[in-house]
A and B are shown apart, each in its own frame.
Chain A
């Protein structure tokens, strides 16, 4: 056991095995979990204390195998190979034991102490699968602790076992392949030991296995070592000659067969699987005709509920503030103070009255849909249509997450298998209205023009995004690789977890965005007092006034909108010198449409710009800004002319 510093424990498992839920249960902290393969796109770390020992628990992105097929898996592989980890918790899905074992067998090769959390035992049981835990433990030589992460069951036993294993320092022993494959592995292991072992922390046997699999990551590590590469190639060819199929398939096949054998030995299928719950629901949800009715219904209900919950709350909360704003000028006679207080009130009112009423139901419903397992099904239903715009079904997931917030949506593009899909999706995501912009749509368009207009905005947005997808697709030479994704079983989202997730986002808003909103609003008040706003407005007037036909005062609001999209709305009323409820006395209905159209598409907010830069570099970031600005201007102009 480590003498100094916290003990590092990595959680590793296949996507959807309940790993993040287990992580949450362990650390009592709320990481983002959801029922989408690969939502933990960046790893989360949390420090905890158990029996006086300090642990750093790291939740790594789900991976099917110790190889990197997408960015999320690449992160996991890199972390496991380069970080000094004390112990691995391998989270296994008890309902998919055989497939989970294929990863376990590879993790063993890392040569680290290991404990298995056999998760979702309750679901396995309801599917009629009974697992002999003791026997599994004995076969693998690794402690196995049954857990039900959603209910926090088995955690104490898990940590007791972790302490025990850390103390003994027991490392599980490698599995043996069939004779021919084993010979090649051993021969290559020896060569690896001789020539490169000192250069990497990676166990030679694992290195040899991965070179036989021709894995890009490992091959790339030794790309300068012609000797090893040549030897690996020779062994691969020999294997292929003897076994009759490509070496990577042979090596994978060994693990697959062994996993099947182990699973068969420990699983008792109590009753023959009757038509499962998933089948009954999928018969409609995944139906080539009904599926689309359900899809439209789901999203209609989704936005309808947000509007139904949000608009009475907006009315309720903004009322008192509006009153306050009319009283202020009568009581306060110092002009500067009046502007400051006015800005302050607008800022506070904007948070309570406009953002939260729509933001909370939106975030809640979106995480509910995520956890339910509906999004991968949407990916399936829309695969054919997405091909028409040069993407495939999987890209739907970041795009839908974009309705919540563009930042995690951009991060979620990592689940896509290749660069072109990722770049194309990342360029489209910021154009999907995020919760802040949806708030603007609801609070302006739905409130003053009616919910059907709001619906039109969403449909028009999808239309524009599709057209752009089609156009941008023309710039990429390589065609898409196609959809290949697991469809997880439905899970009734735990209300506690959904509430926790909603709270996490609301907390982020309250602590990060709201203060910005209030400060921004006050600053705008001061700018107006000093008459500086006319300068900004003049600078923006070519777009705002000449092209879009909006009052010049709107110019300043757009600047703040780049910081946070929520600011646009508060700033709008602030700049126009009226309460939000009375904007329609200053802007015509046509101007409200044009303004909202522009806000829906224009420059991504500063956090989104940041993550695009980080994930894709400066060039793509600039493209994204230009794309947003030009689409916003063009659509705004079109609506000004048409209306």
Chain B
């Protein structure tokens, strides 16, 4: 079944919380995201979105990590809005 509630991190608005489902990027980017403390299953919150196609600032509510993710990588993070 195709889960229509799934979307990409880039489509979320500031203030929204979501659950990380999976990463579809290459191995390096994937490993990096996980090393920074963002793992599938974690609950994240969008704190701010940079203008001019800038990065997305998120907080991982599960462990307190805060990360800025560029649009290119964020597009490959599949999330489920809560």
Contact = CB atoms under 8 A, between A and B. Distances in A.
B35 interface: yes
A136 to B, nearest CB: 16
Contacts, number: 134
Contacts of A278: 66
A516 to B, nearest CB: 41
B68 A376 contact: yes
A65 interface: yes
Contacts of A213: 31
Interface residues of B, number: 35
Given A253-B39, A256-B34, A484-B36, A384 B54 contact: yes
A417 B68 CA distance: 14
A286 B64 contact: no
Interface in A581-595: none
A482 B72 contact: yes
B12 interface: no
B52 A388 contact: yes
Contacts of B72: 481-482
Contacts of A65: 31, 35
A483 B74 CA distance: 9
Contacts of B71: 482
Given A96-B64, A482-B70, A482-B71, A393 B35 contact: no
Contacts of A367: none
A383 B49 CA distance: 11
Contacts of A102: 35
B67 A487 contact: yes
B69 A483 contact: yes
A542 B62 CA distance: 65
A392 interface: yes
Interface string B10-44: 00000000000010000111111111110110000
A484 B33 contact: yes
Given A69-B32, A484-B69, A487-B68, A383 B63 contact: no
A380 B50 contact: yes
A213 B31 CA distance: 10
Contacts of B65: 96, 99, 486
A99 B38 CA distance: 9
B12 to A, nearest CB: 14
A64 interface: yes
A287 B54 contact: no
A527 B60 CA distance: 64
Closest 10 CB pairs of A and B: A384-B54, A384-B52, A482-B70, A483-B70, A64-B35, A482-B72, A383-B55, A99-B37, A383-B54, A380-B68
15 contacts: A69-B32, A213-B31, A287-B48, A380-B57, A382-B54, A383-B68, A387-B52, A388-B52, A392-B55, A482-B71, A482-B72, A483-B55, A486-B36, A486-B67, A489-B66
